[in-house]
Structures are given as C-alpha cells and as structure tokens.
Amino acid sequence: MRIHLRLSWLFWESGEENGRDSLVKIGPTTSVGWVSNCISTHTVEQDAEGNIWICSRMKPSSYEGVLSHLDDAIAKISPEGNVLFKKSVAKILYENGCRGLLAGGFRGRPGEDPIHLNEVQPALTDSKYWKKGDVLLSMKHLSTVAFYRPSTDKIIWLKTGPWMNQHSVEFASDHEISVFGNNVISDVKGYVLMDGHNNVYLYDFANGSVSTPYDKAMSSLAVRTKDSGRSKVLLNGEVFIEESNYGRLLRLASDRAIWEFVPRLDNNHLSMPIYSRYLTEEEVLHVFPNRTANPK
C-alpha cells in the first residue's frame, strides 16, 4: 500500500504570504518514500500506468513579464516521483483556439486567478469518445470542463456550463461524465448561490445531452457548499456527495437520501471533509489487500 499526500507550507517573499504545496509519498509504516518539489494543489489522481496527475502551477509563469497571474498547470508524476509532463493550462487553451475563453477569466487584479484548475481526471480505459491517457480538466473560474489529449497536445472536447464554478469532474460510464456544479457566482459580497442548491450534471457524449438526475434530492436536502464539494455517480445509479462547507457526506437516489453522515468532533464542532472518496469493495481490496471482503 502507498499513500500520496500533499504537504503544505507557507513562506514569505517580498512581504507577501505565498502558499506552496509539494507531493509526498508515504509508505504503510509512515516512512517518506519521496518528496516532489512540483507544486501540487487540489486532487491527486492515478492513471492506468500508476502515474499521478495533479493540478500544478508554472513558476516562473509561462507569461512572465507579459501577464501577472497564477499560471495553473497540469503535471504527470511517475511512481518514483519524477515529473514526466507539465504544461500551463493557459497555454493549452491559447494553442487550441480558446484564447477568448482565457481572456474572460481576467479581471485586472494583482495575483489574478483566471482559471483555477481544480481537477485533472485521467481516463483509465478507452471508449468510443475518449482514449486511455486522455485527461478531464475542470477549470472552475471559467465554468468550463475539457478533455485534453497529452499525446497530441490537443483539446478534443470542451464545454462551458450550464454548471457554474464547478469543483469536481468524474467518469460516470463509458459515454458519460459527471460534474459537481457549485452553481455560485463571485460577487463583491462573496459567493452567491444562484439556484438555492448545488447540482450534479451528467453530460452524455452519445447524444450531447445534459441532465440533472439528482436535482430533487439535492434541493430538498439543501446541498449548498459554496466552494469545494465532490460527487461520484455509483454503479447502481445513486450518487455520493461531499458537501464540504457544511461537513456532510451523503448518498442520494434521484429523489431522497439513502444515508447522510456528519463527522462531528463534539456536540459543538464539525469537521470539514475535503476530497472524500467513496470506494467500492474492489477498490477497498486494492488499497487494503489483506482486508477480508464483506467482513461479518
């Protein structure tokens, strides 16, 4: 068993506080296998070859001296901790004819965060609509999701909305992806929830349709995390949801909760789950091979 974690620290430079994350490999006895200095934020996802895909950042920026912004990047790390691939998301958009979309993220503020990449999800198998090794990109501040093919340096599919400021993309089937839409707009007074609740969107590549099969349940249960959040459509059609801001985990059918769990520290305090995972029995046995299936 191996666990990949992000180790965060803060340092000071020119009087400004700067955050930086590194990727750390920890073994079952908590021994440190390696530390990668490649900046890492948000999720850590493993591909079919065991490589790790992360949201990263270019330092110095690919646009050093031209633009002043956080230059988000995707990076592929080997099981040994070596950087195999890294590229600016702004460059990917620009070189694939999407520079108008890129321009829409800038607001003329110092330390601009025009893209805010928050997930890189690798395709583990081929399908009619993608190839193994393609990666799904979630660009929160553009309310945009894209399929990028590193082998050809091409965006093969891209869609903006109807989700807004989304925080999670997942493969739902061999022809569908799911998007956890926070559905908020950043206003001078902070994030404003536009529909009263979050939603999980299913995009079907077979016919180009977008559906919200869990809208009734998410509305009645007031699932409303304004940032963060995560969802995973399960094999039986139910969905697992992390409502990060309110410390709640849920498993939903289309119209009701199957269960919900709030991790409490005590009667007055909740913990805030971040990037929770729902594991199938097969996935549990892969992570913990000595665990007995279906323990009594």
Q: Is the pLDDT of residue 220 over 60?
A: yes
Average pLDDT rounded to a whole number, residues 211-217? 98
Tokens of 58: 């270019």
Work out the percent of the chain whose per-residue pLDDT is above 70.
90
pLDDT band at 280 (very low <50, low <70, confident <90, very high): confident
Indicate whether 30 pLDDT > 60.
yes
Residue type at position 95: E
Alpha carbon distance 70, 110 (integer Å)? 10
User: Where is average pLDDT lowest: 9-23, 115-129, 222-236?
Assistant: 9-23
Taking only the tens place, the pLDDT of each residue in 130-185 is: 999 999 999 999 999 999 999 999 999 999 999 999 999 999 999 999 999 999 99
* pLDDT of 286 strictly over 90: no
Strand, helix or coil at 177?
strand
Look up tokens 């992570």; give the residue: 287
Alpha carbons 144 and 47: distance in angstroms, whole number = 22
Task: Give me 100's structure tokens.
Answer: 């108008």
**CA 240, 243, 248, 252 torsion-angle sign:** negative
Is 230 in contact with 275 (CB distance < 8 Å)? yes
Q: What pLDDT was estimated at residue 291?
A: 66
| pTM as predicted | 0.88
Please give the residue that has the higher pLDDT: either 97 or 189.
97
What gap in Å lies between CA 176 and CA 181, rounded to an integer? 16
Q: What is the mean pLDDT of the chain?
A: 87
Domains of the chain are 41-287 (2.40.128.630)
- Angstrom distance (rounded) from CA 158 to CA 221: 31
- Weakest mean pLDDT among 23-32, 98-107, 116-125, 251-260: 23-32
Query: Helix or strand or coil: residue 227?
Result: coil
CB-based contact 153:208 (threshold 8 Å): no
Q: Which of 176-180, 210-214, 286-290 has the lowest mean pLDDT?
A: 286-290
Phi, psi of 79 (to 5 degrees): -60, -20
Q: What is the pLDDT of residue 93?
A: 96
The pair phi, psi for residue 281, each rounded to 5°, is -55, -40
